[in-house]
Amino acid sequence: MKTQAALAGLLLGLAAQHLHAQGLSGQVSVLGTTFPNRPRTPELRSRVFAKNTTIIGPHVRFDVGGFAEGLLAGGEGADRAGVAEFDEASVQLTMSRLDVLAGFTRAVWGRLDELQPSDVVNPLDFSKFFYESREAARMPVGLVRARLHLTDSTTIELVAVPRFRKARFDRLDEPTSPFNPSTLPLRVAVERPSGSVWEQMQGGARFSTSTGRVDWSVGAYHGFRPLQAYTLSYLASGLPAAPIVSILISGTYPEYTMVSGDFETALSRWTFRGEAVYSDDKAIQARRSPVTASGRTVQAGFGADRSLAGFRVLGELIWHHAEIDTPSLPTDPLTGVAPVFERRSLTAVGIVERQFARQTRLIRGFGIYDGVNKNGIARAIAAISPRQGFWVEGTAVWFSGRRAGLLGSFIDDDFLSVRLIQHF
Amino acid sequence: MSMSSRILSICWLLVVIGLSGGARAAGPDGRWVAEQIRDRDQGRDARFDVRMRILDSRGGVRERRFTLMLKRGAKGEDRGLIRFSQPADIKSTGLLIWKHLNAEAERFLFLPAMGRIRRIAGGEAQENFVGSDFSYEDIGGQDFDAYTYELLEGDGTTTDPSGATYKFYKLQSRARDASAPFPTTISYVDKESFVVRHAERLDRAGQRRKTYDVQKLAKVQGFWTALAATMATDRERTRTELVIDASQYNVGLTEDDFSRRALERGGS
């Protein structure tokens, strides 16, 4: 806690004293949120983020950044929490054909917006995904990335992530967060990837190039899913009066291997993007059941965007198909029947955005619809910048549809928020 | 590169006139004047530190600062890279443009928060550039053949905002794309420098919507450079002032300085 407080103090000090120092940038923000369907409301989150870049000659660059964030939640289950973390601590070495990035940082894969099946290197903070964007939600990990630039457009990229980091539903008091969908009333033993460095190692390779005006990549990655999969087991006594002796719920971060491909091209007023991922999963979670089974999944997405009457309009479709290994299919220990797995889904993403008044006003609509689970999220944002570097942003988020699938977990989490942001 | 873009971009951009070729025996026509603007000597490459002040109708001012690097390529394969240093919310954002002689330019955008380079469409060439009165096309240019050219006046004389007299060609550029918001540009091209010193952009109804003026034109390292210019939007009563704080020609920029790797490397 002392370390966190010291880091928070350092960040605040930097923000206050060196706002114009060369290489230092960041933002201070205050977010007020009310959840109409939640007892713990309203919330106030304040945050300072600062990053400093130091460039030494043409070959070496250091990036150091961090943030301090605080939470005050009112109503039933009032809460307060704080966190201060490094958000970036990396060095990048650039040579004629090779660059190496090492440290606590991010490496982005994939080309689609918001839902990117092959963007697997960094886990997400889902609260940031809902409050801000996928970019803001991506959490740094310790990694080493080497890129060999055969030509300007042809690159071989190798990424190694020696230490696993799980995804978060919220970095602030996660168990009480409105974005934590866990409904298990019990404490669960979760087993993190363990063993030797090599057994924990995640990583992959990606080859990127251009053919004409089409940029495309193929890649492969081996790692652990950043969200837990749960299984339930019990010991039976054989006695009719007390048939179950003990229940054990355990969670793991399932191992998987994937291959991926993506492309991007711009034609006249249109930009087209696509991604496809095939993965071999050691454990896939059954729907609403503490059962897992191995299997293979395919996710393929296609998107297009263009400018239309001053609006940026984007649409994406993502198709998901899972093939579960039936021979290993266990029965649900609670119900004794075969569990149900999400074998197919079709998700649509739509974004409409417009900036106007010399880019001092912004309106944005964002929606995701899951055609199989028949639920979705709609988000409307309006922002105004009354002076340079300062923004006031209002957001309304509405979840609707059936309580199924990932989005269905957030059905009660509609919210309204106002955020003040000062960039420096 | 396009006419209108040359006409506007090049003009603020600055530069020289080392015009090529002499006058035709039959006298110049619109396309010839446009070619002179396009083909004038701007050096092998150039680097400019640019300050942009955007003034709204109520007198509010916002400032943008960016570095612009340009490189002349063979057969119209020019390169351009814009990197913002201010304000903070767009700092390190970069835009890379590869022009092609007989094909649409390729554009790449790097947003530090996004963490990757995106290929972007060029169909919004006449939209405002980062909230200013200038358009993307003014800054980055379009295809020369996307416009037709007509010489409206071949022997005019007028005065610039400082009161100095100059002789000009009055050139009309018409976009082949009928859906362009500003399909017509009327330009006053300095006969000596082939820099556009005044221009008016007309909307589809033929009404003047934007007015461009060069405030300060001077030679830098022997190249004509528009060191200060403004673009005003009449209906919205906004204005953008563009000032070149530092300029340097024949820097020795290479193809690598205009690569996607360079675009990403410059971001923080």
Q: What is the pLDDT of residue A186?
A: 60
Note the pTM of the prediction, 2 decimals.
0.85
Check if the beta carbon of residue A84 is closer than 8 Å to that of residue A8: yes
Q: Model confidence at B257, in pLDDT bands (50, 70, 90)?
A: very high
B9: closest CA of chain A, how far (Å): 20
Ranges A14-28, A224-238, B28-42, B231-245, most confident: B231-245
> What residues of chain A have any CB closer than 8 angstroms to a CB in chain B?
23, 25, 27, 51, 53, 63, 94, 99, 106-108, 135-136, 138, 149, 152-153, 213, 215, 264-271, 306-307, 310, 355, 357-360, 387-389, 391, 423-424
Find the helix or strand (DSSP H, E) in which B137 lies.
helix B136-140
Summarised one tens digit per residue, pLDDT across range A161-187 is: 999 999 999 888 888 787 877 655 566
pLDDT at position B4 over 70: no
Q: Which residue has the higher pLDDT, B19 or B249?
A: B249
Q: Which residue has the higher pLDDT, B15 or A186?
A: A186
Q: What is the pLDDT of residue A77?
A: 72
Q: Model confidence at A157, in pLDDT bands (50, 70, 90)?
A: very high
Mean pLDDT of chain B: 84
List the single residue in A with minimal CA-CA distance to B181: A309
Using an 8 Å CB-CB cutoff, list chain B residues near A391. Answer: 89
Is the CB of A307 less than 8 angstroms away from the CB of B127? yes
Chain A contact present for B260, CB below 8 A: yes
Mean pLDDT of chain A: 86
List the single residue in A with minimal CA-CA distance to B130: A359
Q: What is the pLDDT of residue A237?
A: 66
Above pLDDT 70, what percent of chain B?
Answer: 87
B211: closest CA of chain A, how far (Å): 17
Q: What is the pLDDT of residue A182?
A: 66
Measured between alpha carbons, how far is A142 from A157 in angstroms, rounded to an integer? Answer: 16
Instruction: Please name the member of B62, B88, B121 whose beta carbon is closest to the beta carbon of A270.
Output: B121
Instruction: Please name the member of B54, B88, B121 whose beta carbon is closest to the beta carbon of A25.
Output: B88
Q: What is the pLDDT of residue A236?
A: 67
Q: What is the pLDDT of residue B7?
A: 34
pLDDT at position B16 over 50: no
Q: Model confidence at A333, in pLDDT bands (50, 70, 90)?
A: low
Q: What is the pLDDT of residue B24?
A: 45
Is the CB of B116 less than 8 angstroms away from the CB of A153? no
Summarised one tens digit per residue, pLDDT across range A307-322 is: 888 899 999 999 999 9
Summarised one tens digit per residue, pLDDT across range A364-420 is: 999 999 988 899 999 999 999 999 899 999 999 999 998 877 788 888 889 999 999
**Residue B40 has what DSSP assignment?**
S
Q: What is the pLDDT of residue B115?
A: 86
A393: closest CA of chain B, how far (Å): 14
pLDDT at position B200 over 90: yes
- The full set of domain ranges for chain B reads 7-17+29-265
Quick count: other Cβ atoms within 10 Å of Cβ B143?
A: 21
Q: Model confidence at A328, in pLDDT bands (50, 70, 90)?
A: low
Is the CB of A359 less than 8 angstroms away from the CB of B128? yes
List the single residue in B with minimal CA-CA distance to A390: B89
Instruction: Please name the member of B89, B123, B131 whose beta carbon is closest to the beta carbon of A389.
Output: B89
Q: Model confidence at B26, in pLDDT bands (50, 70, 90)?
A: low
Q: Model confidence at B123, in pLDDT bands (50, 70, 90)?
A: low
Is the dihedral angle over the CA atoms A304, A306, A312, A313 positive or is it negative? negative
A348-352, B105-109, B162-166: which range is least confident on average? B162-166
Q: What is the pLDDT of residue B130?
A: 85
Q: What is the pLDDT of residue A117?
A: 93
Q: Model confidence at B11, in pLDDT bands (50, 70, 90)?
A: very low
Using an 8 Å CB-CB cutoff, list chain A residues near B261. Answer: 99, 149, 152
What is B7-17+29-265's CATH number? Answer: 2.50.20.10
Q: Which residue has the higher pLDDT, B201 or A326?
A: B201
Summarised one tens digit per residue, pLDDT across range A65-103 is: 999 999 998 887 788 899 999 999 999 999 989 999 999
Check if the beta carbon of residue B216 is closer than 8 Å to that of residue B228: yes
Instruction: Select from B108, B106, B84 the least CA-distant residue to B96.
Output: B108
pLDDT at position B1 over 70: no
A196: closest CA of chain B, how far (Å): 31
Summarised one tens digit per residue, pLDDT across range B68-115 is: 999 988 877 889 999 999 898 888 899 999 988 778 889 999 988 888
Above pLDDT 90, what percent of chain B?
Answer: 54
Q: How many CB pairs under 8 A join A and B?
A: 90
**SS3 letters across chain A:** CHHHHHHHHHHHHHHHHCCCCCCEEEEEEEEEEECCCCCCCCEEEEEEEEEEEEEECCCEEEEEEEEEEEEEECCCCCEEEEEEEEEEEEEEEECCCEEEEEEEECCCCCCCCCCCCCCCCCCEEHHHHHHCCHHHHECCEEEEEEEEECCCCCEEEEEEECCCCCCECCCCCHHHCCCCCCCCCCCCEEECCCCCHHHHCEEEEEEEEEECCEEEEEEEEEEECCCCEEEEEEEECCCCCCCEEEEEEEEECCEEEEEEEEEEEEECCEEEEEEEEEEEEEEEECCCCCCEEEEEEEEEEEEEEEEECCEEEEEEEEEEEEEECHHHCCCCCCCCCCCCCCCEEEEEEEEEEEEECCCCEEEEEEEEEECCCCEEEEEEEEEEEEECCEEEEEEEEEEEECCCHHHHCCCCCCEEEEEEEEEC
**Can you tell me the mean pLDDT for B166-189?**
91
Using an 8 Å CB-CB cutoff, list chain A residues near B118. Answer: 264, 271
Q: What is the pLDDT of residue A18?
A: 43
Is the CB of B119 less than 8 angstroms away from the CB of A215? yes
A61-65, A337-341, B256-260: which range is least confident on average? A337-341
Using an 8 Å CB-CB cutoff, list chain B residues near A94. Answer: 265
